[in-house]
Each structure stands twice: as structure tokens, then as C-alpha cells.
Amino acid sequence: MAETMKGLKRTHRCGELTAANIGETVTVMGWVQKQRNKGGIIFVDLRDRAGILQVIFEEAECGAENFAKAEKLRSEFVAAITGRVERRAAAANENLATGEIEVRALQVRILSEAETPPFPIEADSRTKEELRLKYRYLDLRRPDLQKNLILRSKIATTIRTFLSEEGFLEIETPILNKSTPEGARDYLVPSRVHPGTFYALPQSPQIFKQLLMCSGYDRYFQVAKCFRDEDLRADRQPEFTQIDLEMSFVDVDDVIDATERMVAKVCEEAIGLEVALPLKRMTWDEAMNRFGSDKPDTRFGMELTDVSDVVKGCGFGVFTGALEAGGSVRGINVKGQAEMPRKKIDALVEFAKGYGAKGLAYLSVMPDGSCKSSFAKFMTEDELKALVEAMGGEPGDLLLFAADRLKLVWSVLGALRIEIARQLELIDDNKFNFLWVTEFPQFEWSEEEERYVAMHHPFTMPMEEDLALLETEPGRVRAKAYDIVLNGVELGGGSVRIYQSDVQERMFEALGFTKEKAYEQFGFLLDAFKYGVPPHAGLAIGFDRFVMLLVKADNIREVIAFPKVKDASCLMSDAPNLVDEKQLEELHLRITE
């Protein structure tokens, strides 16, 4: 039988009591973590979101009725306990914030009984995730998830406070939007009032925030829910949250400045981390050449070296063939791994092939200075020596080479570098390496569509000095686009937007858009641009991902209260589910096979 809390008022949270409260009579309420009877004394660990508190029942002190109730307490029962705070009779428990004290109970009410939960409520759970997600309401009691969600809330508050103080206005944009055919797949919402038509859930508030700039709001932000109906990866959810912002009358540096001060503030307030500003910046070219990635993890070295010139005339056909086809030969130096077992090297070759490489050439600089290599026999001693030297190879090093189209070489070595660093545990988990990658290419060539497509989106402003190349060499045009990267993860990105109709027209032309097609997709934005548009720029940060990195979780589900799994379903609620035939009729829909 559940008792009521009538006449009772909680005075403190369990985890908030300290030695400063000794002597006070307090009332705490929470969940029983543990109850045990040791020689006629009942010890209860009571838990709430602030922490765990030890409560002690002695019959002489609390009376028979309360003692009997204390005996009935089981794990996860909810109890309200009134008692006196005293210094612990036993030695202090240093693992507990409340470890110096205990509460000697005078009264207890059992507010709610509980069945035995299907898994223990404790940190570092080894329960398999499916079960945890099915019983998410129990999983959410675990201290590590509580810590994550409490921090998430704090980070959101910090961001909002910072942006408000900087003059940003939080403006809500619609969730029920117009569907546009390009980009990722929309989630659709059938309209009942207009049979046969649909709303789309927003993939981002991009167009709305640009409209708000046209409307003069000057600085906008939103902690915005966005949706993409794509197959999920570890760091993706069908719905996700982004810190979305846009500023008028600014250029690249203004957005970067505001963003990095915001990020530094969050790091300081959320996890006490000092981030030195300004953050490092690196052009896209430099990032690709040094790290083979536009989101380089700079917590370790193992950078790429271009050896194309060195191997140009050598006897190894794989290298020279790639070069003759217009490709590149580049390598990474895995220090001290010259004697990596063949099996492990083979696994790396397979890994590289997963990224599209035809193979991976390797060379071990043995302790005695000699070279052991898959391709040594095709090269002269001098060629080998020059190659090792170019790679900074020293006795004990393992050199790995990819030879192919440059884009492929980058992606293979970029991925390999991360994989090897993980295997060799070269990455310092306590480092938070932020950096900006700037000057992205405006376009990338789509093999599929046989045309240039926008790397960011068609409203991204090209760099002034490259404007003239728009018609002649689009592949060389750089954009005023920037990404912020943390520990090898793209935290967010943005760009300066085109605000001149002549540049916008040239851009659509470069992208092969007819005027009609452009209008069909972006009509109301293009219309808005006719009536006076300010220079503007913005950025969006993946909020879930940012929180995940700050709490060092390895999965985005650990920072979302009610996440979905890989097939976009919710194991707790069983969404999505079947609906009544009547509901479908109202929407004028029928399900096909």
C-alpha cells in the first residue's frame, strides 16, 4: 500500500547533504538503492538525482512501526525519510559526496513499492543495450545517464545565455514544412485538409533563417529539432538537435569568432576545460594534404607525406601507373611498428580496400636499417633510400603507401591513420582538439550526375578572389565555408551566403539549375531576395554530437533521453506502429504491398 506525502515536505535532496548539515533534522525522498539488516540495524542507501545518502534505522530510535517499514524496503522502493544528520559512526566513505555523514531515521513512509527491476540500477552497466532501451525509464535512473542528461541541459542553458547576451534572438521556425525534392530524404506528414498533399519535417531551418535575415532580425539562433529519413549510423538519429545560428552584416571571421567563444564558454562551464582562443584554422587543402580528411583528428601525428615526386621514375608499376593516370602516391609513417605481424598488416590492407584502395604498399625500416617491403624488389637501393628519407623513416618504422586518384589516396590514408592510432592507442582521451577547416571547395564533381554539385548548398558564397573562375574552372573555386572540428569529428559548419542576385544566378548556372528548377525549389527565398537582402552568414552545430564528445560517450544514444535504434524504431514505445483504418481514411491514404 502506497502512503501519501501529505503533511511532509522534502527539505533536501539526498546528495546535497554534507557535514555542514550535521545536527539538522531533514526530510529526504528518493529510491532505495540498497537495504541491509546488519545485526539488528537497518542500513538504507537512498538515491535521488543529486546522489546517494546512507540512512540508519535503529528500532530504539525510530520505533517499532517505522522499523518494520524499514525492514520492508527493497531496491527501487520510493521512500520519504525524516531523520537527524550525524557524522558517520563508521569511517567516512570517500567514494560518496555524502560519505562523511549519515541520517539516523526517525520516520519513514513508503511512497511506492517496486518490483525487482530487470537489470541493476548502477553506473557502467553491462546490461545489453536492447534491454536498457526497452526499459529506458529504468536505464535513465543510472547515474551515468543522469549525469549526461543533466550536463546536456546545462550546456543548452549555457549556449542560450551566451547567445542571448550576444544579441541573438531565439526564433522558432515551423516543423510542418514544404517538401523539396533535393537533399536527404524528408519525413512526410500527410495533410487531412488537403488530400494528397504532404508536409515535410525540416532537415534544417536553413531557408527560414535566411528569410529572418532578410526580415532584419540580424542575429538569430535556435536549438532546432531536425529530421532526416536516412539509414542510421552510430552518430545519427532520425531526429536530432542542432544549434542553428545566422548573423547579418558579417563575414567569415565574425561567425567564427562568435562560435568559438560560445564553444569555449560551454567547455569551461560544462566540463571545466579551458580552450585557448582563437582556435587553430586550417584550409581544406592543408587538412586534406596533411591528414587526408576534412575533419582531421590532430590529437596525434602520423601525417600524410606526398612522395609522388620521389617515386616518379621508379620501377614499381603500381606507383608509376597511378601517377601516369594523373593520380598521386602518398604515405604515412607508423613509428616503431616495423615488426608489425604480417597478419595485422594484411588486416590493414583489407581495411584500406574497404575504402576503395586496390591495395596498400608497405615498407618496414628494420632495426639494422635494411628495408623489408612488398615492393622493394621493384626499386633500386637509391630509390628505396630516397623514399624512406622523404617519409622521415627511421629504423623501426613501418611505412604505408597508397597510390591512386588523389581523392581516394586521401580517404584511404585518412581512415587508415585513425584506425592505426586507435589500434595502437595513440590517442589521448583527455585532449580536446578543436580546429576550423576553411576554404572548402565550392563544388564537388558528382560522378553519378556528371555535373558539379554544391559541397555545402547552392547559397554558399564563393571567395571573392575565385569568383572569376565560376564559369571557367568551377573545380578550383573555393567557398566561404567553414567547419568546426573536434577530435576528428565534424561538430558543425556553415558559410557566408550569397546575397547578390547576379552571383546567385551564376551559381545556379554553374550547378546546371534552370531558372525554373531553382524557383520550384527555393521560390520564396529567391522572391524574398528581391526586396533588399543583407550580407549574412551562419552555422549549425550538431548538439547531440557536441554533448556526446564532451561527456566522452561513444554513442549518441547516451546523451538522448529517448533515442531510437538503427531501424528508427523506439524499443520502449514500439513506435512506429499500426494505426486505425479510420485514420488512414481521413488522410485519403491506402497502404500498398
Annotated binding site: 182, 228-230, 237, 456, 490, 497, 542-545
Q: Measured from the CB of residue 506, what is the shortest distance to a copy of itself in angstroms?
A: 13
Q: Measured from the CB of residue 464, what is the shortest distance to a copy of itself in angstroms?
A: 7
Residue closer to a copy of itself by CB (options 278, 301) is 278
Element (H, E) at 365: strand 361-365
Q: Cα–Cα–Cα angle for 150, 274, 297, nearest 5°?
A: 90
Pick the binder of a copy of itself from 214, 287, 288, 345 (CB under 8 A): 214
Q: Which of 491, 520, 126, 525 is nearest to 297 (CA)?
A: 491
With binding defined as CB under 8 A, does residue 545 bind a copy of itself? no
Residue closer to a copy of itself by CB (options 47, 456) is 47
With binding defined as CB under 8 A, does residue 216 bind a copy of itself? yes
> Which residues in the 271-290 window bind a copy of itself by CB under 8 A?
none
Residue closer to a copy of itself by CB (options 375, 459) is 459
Running DSSP on this structure, what letter comes out for residue 287? H
Distances (CA, A) of 60 to 57, 67, 87, 104, 258: 9, 9, 19, 11, 63
With binding defined as CB under 8 A, does residue 188 bind a copy of itself? yes
Residue closer to a copy of itself by CB (options 76, 404) is 76
> Which residues in the 42-71 window bind a copy of itself by CB under 8 A?
47-49
* Contact between 331 and 290 (Cβ < 8 Å): no
Q: Measured from the CB of residue 574, what is the shortest distance to a copy of itself in angstroms?
A: 6
Q: Can you read off the three cell numbers belonging to residue 584?
A: 488512414
Range in contact with a copy of itself (rule: CB under 8 A) among 236-244, 386-394, 450-458, 487-495: 236-244
Q: Measured from the CB of residue 103, what is the shortest distance to a copy of itself in angstroms?
A: 16
Range in contact with a copy of itself (rule: CB under 8 A) among 58-66, 330-338, 452-460, 581-589: 581-589
Q: Can you read off the three cell numbers belonging to residue 317?
A: 608499376
- Separation between Cα atoms, residue 440 and residue 281, nearest integer Å: 12
* C-alpha dihedral sign at 254, 258, 261, 264: negative
Q: Can you read off the three cell numbers belonging to residue 15?
A: 546528495
Residue closer to a copy of itself by CB (options 350, 581) is 581
Pick the binder of a copy of itself from 36, 233, 377, 590 (CB under 8 A): 590
CA 54 distance to own-chain centroid: 37
> Which residues in the 103-142 window bind a copy of itself by CB under 8 A?
111-115, 117, 135-138, 140-141
Which residues are documented as binding site for ATP?
228-230, 237, 490, 542-545
Number of alpha carbons in the 13 Å side-chain half-sphere of residue 541:
27
With binding defined as CB under 8 A, does residue 12 bind a copy of itself? no
Running DSSP on this structure, what letter comes out for residue 465? G
* Contact between 111 and 29 (Cβ < 8 Å): yes
- Separation between Cα atoms, residue 578 and residue 584, nearest integer Å: 10
With binding defined as CB under 8 A, does residue 577 bind a copy of itself? yes
Which residues, including other chains, have CB under 8 Å from residue 506's CB and lie 6 or more apart? 470, 471
> Which residues in the 452-471 window bind a copy of itself by CB under 8 A?
464
The count of residues in the chain is 593
> Which residues in the 497-516 window bind a copy of itself by CB under 8 A?
499-502
With binding defined as CB under 8 A, does residue 553 bind a copy of itself? no
With binding defined as CB under 8 A, does residue 569 bind a copy of itself? yes
> Which residues in the 289-318 window bind a copy of itself by CB under 8 A?
none
Q: Can you read off the three cell numbers belonging to residue 377?
A: 624488389
> Which residues in the 319-348 window bind a copy of itself by CB under 8 A?
none
Q: Measured from the CB of residue 79, what is the shortest distance to a copy of itself in angstroms?
A: 9
Size of the site for a copy of itself (CB under 8 A): 127
- Separation between Cα atoms, residue 304 and residue 91, nearest integer Å: 56
- Separation between Cα atoms, residue 541 and residue 491, nearest integer Å: 6
> Which residues in the 430-449 window bind a copy of itself by CB under 8 A?
none
- Separation between Cα atoms, residue 193 and residue 356, nearest integer Å: 49
Pick the binder of a copy of itself from 35, 98, 241, 333 (CB under 8 A): 241
Pick the binder of a copy of itself from 59, 86, 166, 251 (CB under 8 A): 251
Which three-class secondary structure state does DSSP give residue 236? coil
Pick the binder of a copy of itself from 58, 309, 389, 567 (CB under 8 A): 567
Pick the binder of a copy of itself from 64, 193, 341, 368 (CB under 8 A): 193
Which residues are documented as binding site for L-aspartate?
182, 228, 456, 497
* Contact between 563 and 171 (Cβ < 8 Å): no
> Which residues in the 351-410 window bind a copy of itself by CB under 8 A?
none
Q: Measured from the CB of residue 229, what is the shortest distance to a copy of itself in angstroms?
A: 6
Q: Measured from the CB of residue 241, what is the shortest distance to a copy of itself in angstroms?
A: 6
Range in contact with a copy of itself (rule: CB under 8 A) among 17-25, 58-66, 224-232, 269-277: 224-232
Element (H, E) at 161: helix 143-165
Pick the binder of a copy of itself from 187, 300, 355, 519 (CB under 8 A): 187
CA 334 distance to own-chain centroid: 28
Q: Can you read off the three cell numbers belonging to residue 208?
A: 527560414
For the chain, the first-to-last Cα distance in angstroms comes to 51
* Contact between 455 and 506 (Cβ < 8 Å): no
* Contact between 483 and 295 (Cβ < 8 Å): yes
With binding defined as CB under 8 A, does residue 29 bind a copy of itself? yes
Q: Measured from the CB of residue 459, what is the shortest distance to a copy of itself in angstroms?
A: 14
* Contact between 479 and 456 (Cβ < 8 Å): yes
Residue closer to a copy of itself by CB (options 1, 64) is 1
